[in-house]
């Protein structure tokens, strides 16, 4: 009866020992996968579903059923799902930790729900320390860092085709991680694409494999499953860039001159900060929209960035220097967003002034 059972089940509780499950889930990732080693004619549509408690589970639609469901399936939307089969989550390329996974059946109901909001992206970043402790695990992981090196390799053969290969060096938590990328994902890492950004790009690796090699651990993409994003316009980028001062230090490539002097005065000017895109480029505010020239689009998640002038005395001369974000972060030992928080504590500000 309607209204009798409003409570849905939690993803973490799902087991094969009961049948009448009912879940509210967001589709956080959707991909087709054929297994060329098994049956290349069989297409499978895989997805990762996440509930309001941010618990994730994998689900699969078999070949014949794909046309029935695919029309109503959109990444990022929330659905009410009932009448599915629960099976053990075994095999390679596990993307969710859950012990079980879901199989769509002909009778499965998968209905879009607009009233439930699950804003979280579903990304769950693993640190380099955690990666080093989990050598043999076949669970794919998400990773975020700053690209500090890109090396194009010779194309390699895979199932009779030649595919591109790139070796990346990614910096995070004060450490470097090697990451091998194969196939079409390499296109994003072309020199022309990366060099348009004002500073070393942030990269998000989604569902990458941890691989033990001689002398250490590397990350590697799984074709069709893994994705990578350069400077993605998501809250996680802002959070990573704002909290990781060590990364900002490593990322500091500017500076061709060495000047030793004494800062006598920090100029007290109203425009000591500006908005920037996560790619590092200044954004232009235009009728409540933020536009980034480098990314060529409207962006949703902006950062605040220093731009101050200091008077430096050296050898009897006083010179005005403009210091940008990384340098000022070092000088003040806090990022621009942290500085804003401090100001708010010290002098309550009209929130409209700082609204981002």
| CB of 198 vs Zn ion, minimal distance in Å | 9
Taking the least distance from each CB to Zn ion, the nearer of 118 and 238 is 238
Least separation, in Å, of the C-beta of 199 and Zn ion? 11
CA distance 141 to 211: 11
Rounded least distance, CB 281 to Zn ion, Å: 5
Identity of the residue, 163 or 294, whose beta carbon is nearer to Zn ion in the bound complex? 294
User: Min. distance of Cβ 190 from Zn ion in angstroms?
Assistant: 17
CA Rg value for the chain: 24
Of the two residues 59 and 189, which places its CB atom closer to Zn ion in the complex? 189
Closer of 116 and 294 to Zn ion (Cβ)? 294
Q: At what angle do helices 336-346 and 325-332 cross, to 10 degrees?
A: 50
For the bound state, the minimum distance from the C-beta of residue 212 to Zn ion, rounded and expressed in Å, comes to 36
Spatial strand order in the sheet of 289-292: 283-286, 289-292, 297-299
- 103 near 47, Cβ under 8 Å? no
Tell me the C-alpha distance between 355 and 272, whole Å: 16
Chain-centre distance of CA 243, in angstroms?
15
Q: Which is nearer to Zn ion, 17 or 191 (CB)?
A: 191
Q: Which residues is 38 bridged to in the sheet? A: none
Contact between residue 280 and residue 289 where contact means Cβ atoms under 8 Å apart:
no
In the complex, least distance from residue 247 CB atom to Zn ion, rounded to whole angstroms: 18
How far is it, in rounded angstroms, from Cα 25 to Cα 117? 10
- Closer by beta carbon to Zn ion, 12 or else 239: 239
How would you classify the pairing of strands 22-35 and 216-221?
unpaired
Burial grade of 77 (CB within 10 A; 0-12, 13-18, 19 or more): middle
Question: Smaller CB distance to Zn ion: residue 108 or 276?
Answer: 276
| CB within 8 Å of 42: residues ≥ 6 apart | 34, 35, 62, 63
Least distance CB 201 / Zn ion (angstroms): 10
For residue 122, the Cα-to-chain-centroid distance in whole angstroms is 9
In the complex with Zn ion, which residue's Cβ is closer, 166 or 277? 277
SS3 300: coil
Is-contact 157 211, C-beta < 8 A? no
Report, in Å, the least distance between residue 279 CB and Zn ion: 3
Q: Rank residues 212 and 284 by Cβ distance to Zn ion and give the closer one.
A: 284
Distance CA(122)–CA(30), nearest Å, equals 12
Q: Where does this chain bind Zn ion (CB under 5 A)?
A: 277, 279, 281, 292, 294-295
Q: How far is the CB of 140 from Zn ion (least distance, A)?
A: 28
């Amino acid at each position: 009866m309607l209204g009798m059972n409003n409570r849905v089940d939690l993803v973490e509780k799902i087991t094969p020992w009961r049948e009448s499950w009912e879940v509210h889930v967001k589709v956080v990732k959707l991909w087709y996968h054929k297994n060329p080693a098994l049956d290349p004619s069989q297409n499978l549509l895989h997805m990762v579903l996440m509930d309001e408690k941010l618990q994730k589970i994998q689900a699969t639609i078999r070949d014949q059923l794909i046309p029935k469901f695919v029309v109503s399936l959109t990444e990022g939307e929330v659905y009410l799902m009932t009448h599915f089969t629960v099976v053990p989550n075994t095999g390679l390329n596990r993307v969710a930790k859950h012990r079980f996974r879901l199989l769509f059946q002909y009778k499965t109901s998968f209905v879009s729900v607009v009233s439930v909001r699950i804003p979280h992206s579903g990304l769950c970043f693993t640190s380099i320390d955690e990666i080093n402790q989990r050598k043999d695990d076949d669970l794919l992981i998400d990773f975020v860092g700053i690209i500090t090196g890109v090396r194009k390799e010779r194309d390699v053969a895979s199932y009779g085709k030649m595919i591109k290969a790139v070796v990346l060096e990614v910096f995070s938590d004060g450490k470097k991680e090697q990451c091998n990328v194969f196939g079409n994902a390499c296109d994003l890492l072309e020199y022309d694409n990366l060099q348009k950004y004002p500073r070393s790009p942030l990269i998000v690796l989604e569902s990458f494999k941890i691989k033990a090699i001689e002398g250490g651990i590397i990350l590697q993409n799984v074709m069709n499953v893994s994705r990578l994003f350069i400077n993605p316009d998501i809250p996680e980028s802002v959070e990573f860039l704002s909290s990781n001062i060590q990364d900002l230090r490593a990322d500091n490539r500017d500076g061709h001159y060495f000047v030793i002097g004494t800062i006598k005065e920090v100029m007290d000017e109203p425009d000591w900060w500006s908005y920037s895109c996560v790619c590092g480029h200044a954004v232009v505010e235009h009728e409540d929209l933020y536009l980034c020239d480098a990314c060529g689009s409207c962006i949703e998640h902006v950062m605040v960035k220093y731009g101050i002038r200091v008077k430096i005395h050296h050898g009897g001369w006083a010179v005005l220097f403009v210091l940008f974000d990384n340098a000022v972060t070092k000088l003040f030992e806090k990022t621009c967003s942290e500085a804003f928080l401090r100001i708010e504590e010290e002098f309550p500000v009209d929130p409209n002034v700082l609204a981002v």
